[in-house]
Amino acid sequence: SRVQYYPGMLADILKGGNEIGNHSYNHPLLTRLPLKEAVKQVKDTQKLIKKASGYTPTHFRPPYGGTNPEINQAVGMNVSLWDVDPEDWKIRNSQQITNHVLSHAADGKTVLMHD
């Protein structure tokens, strides 16, 4: 839902050579929604991103990692999950986060981080 308020940020992200992914409209645990509503969360966000930036995401990161084969198939996008979650949004201590990430990271692993 934030896309509509910050369309210029999408342009900056793309200009910087980065990819934009879809993270749902308002961050629900999709597996607790009816399939139709879970898909609507993603499809509505796709439309907003396309309208604001001209870009159509190909990757989807479900909130909380909550997805299943039915949602994945219905959404029809590459699903991006992670191997290491330092819970940086909760801990808010850079040294603890660094220690956690470095002790769990390895070649080929994906680390989930928030700004």
Express each pLDDT in 84-108 by its tens digit.
Answer: 999 999 988 999 999 999 999 999 9
Structural domains in the chain plus CATH codes: 2-81 (3.20.20.370), 82-115 (no CATH)
- pLDDT band, very low/low/confident/very high, at 115 (cuts 50, 70, 90): confident
Mean pLDDT of the chain: 96
Structure tokens at 65: 């990692």
60 membership: H or E segment, kind and range: strand 59-60
Q: How far apart are CA 94 and CA 51, in angstroms?
A: 36
Q: Please give the C-alpha separations between residue 48 and each of 1, 10, 29, 95, in angstroms, as whole numbers.
A: 8, 11, 20, 37
H/E element, 41 = helix 35-53
- 28-62 confidence digits (pLDDT tens): 999 999 999 999 999 999 999 999 999 999 999 99
